[in-house]
Amino acid sequence: MDNAKKIYIFLILVTVVVVCIYAQSIIIPFILAILFWFLIRVIKKLLLKIKYIGKLPRWILTLFSTLVLLGFLVFAGTMISNNIADLSKTLPAYQANVTKMTTAIDQKFNIDIMSQVGDFAKGLNFASLLSSLLSTLTSLFGNTFTVLLYLLFLLLEEPIFPKKLKAMYPDQKKYEHMNDLISKIDHSIGNYIALKTLTSLVTGFVSYFALLFIGIDAPVFWAFLIFILNFIPTIGSLIATLFPAMFAILQFGEFTPGILVLSIVGAIQMIVGNIIEPRLMGNTLNISPLVVFLTLAIWGVIWGISGMLLSVPITVILIIIMSEFPGTQPFAILLSQSGKLNK
């Protein structure tokens, strides 16, 4: 590679990073719209397999799939808002429990350091902590109108795209090759997003009943947090387990509920992440662990928590796309876990 090409690649990378930083309010909603679009396509494909429903016009199936997804999001948003309101009311009790715990530990062990920890804990503003956590989640889905607008145009563009592809490639062989290539990429990405969403839903759903059994306040909120953070491999599941465990200790004023949450929710995460997910997804998540941490760090710096949540889906999609083109296959192999591409 000559120096001119190296300079061009460097300038392109710098340009991409700058655009990602300053245009994140446009790019992040667009990426979310694409993810939702793939989920709608998955729902539609499932409906097509049903005997009588599959005979309906495609636009009706698309409309119904969109309404199903939007209905689920609205229902989840309503339930989470109610749980957050209930959780906010209990924050003074959490503050009192922290003071109670630190005082009891200080008296039992009679060491000065515990009084310092107690003073630090007393100074913590748990309302501010919860507010920061909620703002991180809502920022990801905050611009709902923009996401829905992008999604609408993607749905309108979908039936027209095959005609554009045909016009782009008048030669029948080239058209069939590109059509097969796009179909393969579409299937791989849709399969990954659908299965990752399913395993995250299972983890959040089972964790909800575990938290409900233990008696944790706002179990729907914590289950939703577990569902969202499960899209971040390794680190996400760890954070999703530690947060409800920490608040369980604050809620009850003792360590036993926190240990229960840590053990039960941690076991659920281990079973789903190490047994169920690999069996369902196979080698779909063919991404190097080193690349996972690097992309988490890079996208985290560029887009914050939103970037960390979207980093792995973005990287997996890039690997799938690059693996289908001879010119970019070496990059896909470099980013992959096994050095072998899924075909």
Contact 152, 63 (CB under 8 A): no
Q: How far apart are CA 189 and CA 41, in angstroms?
A: 11
Q: How far apart are CA 317 and CA 188, in angstroms?
A: 8
The overall average pLDDT reported for the chain is: 77
Of 250, 210, 249, the C-alpha closest to 226 is: 210
Number of neighbouring beta carbons within 10 Å of residue 132 = 11
Q: What share of the chain is helix, strand, coil (3-state, %, to 5)?
A: 85, 0, 15
Contact 274, 286 (CB under 8 A): no
223-248 average pLDDT score: 82
Residue scoring higher pLDDT (61 or 102): 61
Q: How far apart are CA 50 and CA 46, in angstroms?
A: 7
Question: Which residues contact residue 94 at a Cβ distance below 8 angstroms, ignoring those fewer than 6 apart?
Answer: 126, 247, 250, 251
209-238 average pLDDT score: 83
C-alpha distance from residue 142 to each of 32, 37, 138, 151 (Å): 11, 18, 5, 15
The yes-or-no verdict on residue 121 having pLDDT over 50 is no
Structure tokens at 79: 């339930």
**pLDDT 10s digits, 183-200:** 877 777 787 788 888 888
294-300 average pLDDT score: 83
Of 308, 306, 307, 334, the C-alpha closest to 319 is: 334
The yes-or-no verdict on residue 46 having pLDDT over 70 is yes
The yes-or-no verdict on residue 100 having pLDDT over 70 is no
Contact 154, 37 (CB under 8 A): yes
Predicted pLDDT of residue 116 = 52
Question: Which residues contact residue 191 at a Cβ distance below 8 angstroms, ignoring those fewer than 6 apart?
Answer: 284
18-33 average pLDDT score: 83
Q: Which residue has the tokens 């429990």?
A: 97
- Determine what percent of the chain is predicted with pLDDT higher than 90: 4
Confidence of residue 286 (pLDDT cuts 50, 70, 90): low
- pTM of the predicted structure, to 2 decimals: 0.74
C-alpha distance from residue 149 to each of 63, 266, 283 (Å): 15, 38, 34
